[in-house]
A = this chain, B = another copy of it.
Amino acid sequence: MKVAVLGATGVVGRTMLTVLEARGFPVDELVPLASDRSAGSHVSWRGHDWPVGTASARSFDGCALALFSAGAERSREWAPRAAEAGAVVVDNSSAWRLDERVPLVVPEVNGSEAGNRPLGIIANPNCAAIQLVIALEALRRAAGLRRVVATTLQSVSGAGQAGLDALRAEQAGGDAADSPFVARIAGNVVPWIGARAGDGWNEEETKVRSETRRILALPALPVSVTCVRVPVEVGHSVAASIETERPLSVDQAAEALRAMAGVVYCDASRDPTPRDVAGTDDVRVGRLRSDPDSPNLLHLWVVSDNLRKGAATNAVQIAERVLSG
């Protein structure tokens, strides 16, 4: 099988290559594609050096699969062409996520949607949405969902290599001239991810809300999320308060979380942190508590590697689902 990876030299693209290899994805020929800046270089994968090209009209010929992680603009341009060439496109950008003709898939939650792809494109959700929605789905199955309020603590790698570079430059005592953040991030937390809309909500907050509702197929579910950047290299955390339709005890909720595919439930003896999950495919859920004032309200803490399950791993899992189905 011939597989193209657009954005192969970026942080998520490199992680896609790692995950494809680790999971033994049946690739015969790899087509790594990147921007002009990286074209002509090589990526090392499965013991071979593969030349990096730029996307062109012929790039996707013969590809059964194209994994995209090169930003929304390039996805809008190239995803239809790759699909036309016969590839199934799994796109990690925000370009197609709210397009009704494109399924938005977290395999553990709505994997069967991957089969319904009239444009030949499947969208990979926002990183914070993926880990949140997996925890929500577990509770939905047990007791229904009435409202979600959450705060995310998102690592700098969510802003790609530029985010990692900015944190490292600042931590080394310098300034990060090309920082993607609106304020210094080393030794700080910054409540701003994505562009600001007129109503005060940031783009990332709107994405998590819209995508969570769409993945769960609960288009009217109240979801309000405050997104904060923190000086962590890899691993997003979400503190979520979840109102269920029916009362749910901590024991019942823990049972539902343990039964959920993709979730590693952590009891009070081990609180998950970003450092624990970096490099893994786990969605770890801990700090499960009953609200002291409402039997329908639970509080919990979800951490996951934003480059793995929050991006590359989820995309590869979607591709595996397409292959198998």
A: residues with CB less than 8 A from B are: 147, 149, 151, 153, 171, 182-184, 187-192, 196, 199-201, 209, 222, 224, 226, 228, 230-233, 237, 239, 241, 250, 268, 271, 273-276, 286-294, 297, 299, 301
Question: A291 contacts which of B224, B290, B293 (Cβ < 8 Å)?
Answer: B224
19 A–B pairs (Cβ distance < 8 Å), ordered by A: A147-B293, A151-B226, A153-B153, A183-B276, A187-B231, A187-B232, A189-B237, A189-B273, A190-B273, A191-B239, A191-B286, A200-B268, A200-B289, A200-B290, A209-B292, A224-B291, A226-B239, A226-B301, A230-B230
Q: Please name the residue on chain B nearest to A209 by beta carbon.
A: B292
User: Complex formed: what's the CA distance from A287 to B227 in Å?
Assistant: 11
Report whether A151 and B222 are in contact in the complex, using a CB–CB cutoff of 8 Å: no
Instruction: List, in ascending order, chain B residues with CB within 8 A of A171's CB.
Output: 171
User: Complex formed: what's the CA distance from A209 to B291 in Å?
Assistant: 12
Which 8 A-B pairs rank lowest in CB-CB distance, beginning with the nearest? A222-B293, A151-B151, A200-B289, A151-B239, A226-B239, A188-B275, A149-B241, A191-B301
Also in contact, A290 and B199, with CB within 8 A (given A151-B239, A299-B224): yes
Report whether B293 and A224 are in contact in the complex, using a CB–CB cutoff of 8 Å: yes
Q: Identify the interface centre among A273, A274, A291: most chain B CB within 10 Å of its CB.
A: A273
Instruction: List, in ascending order, chain B residues with CB within 8 A of A233's CB.
Output: 187
Question: A153 contacts which of B189, B201, B274 (Cβ < 8 Å)?
Answer: B189
User: Complex formed: what's the CA distance from A224 to B196 in Å?
Assistant: 28
User: Complex formed: what's the CA distance from A187 to B168 in Å?
Assistant: 11
Instruction: List, in ascending order, chain B residues with CB within 8 A of A187's CB.
Output: 231-233, 275
Min distance, Cβ A146 to any Cβ of chain B, angstroms: 11
Min distance, Cβ A256 to any Cβ of chain B, angstroms: 16
Q: Please name the residue on chain B nearest to A202 by beta carbon.
A: B287
User: Complex formed: what's the CA distance from A228 to B299 in Å?
Assistant: 13
Q: Please name the residue on chain B nearest to A192 by beta carbon.
A: B271
Instruction: List, in ascending order, chain B residues with CB within 8 A of A192's CB.
Output: 271
Q: Please name the residue on chain B nearest to A167 by beta carbon.
A: B187
Instruction: List, in ascending order, chain B residues with CB within 8 A of A297's CB.
Output: 224
Question: A183 contacts which of B189, B230, B239, B275 (Cβ < 8 Å)?
Answer: B275
User: Complex formed: what's the CA distance from A119 to B151 in Å?
Assistant: 41
Q: Please name the residue on chain B nearest to A276 by beta carbon.
A: B183
Instruction: List, in ascending order, chain B residues with CB within 8 A of A190's CB.
Output: 271, 273
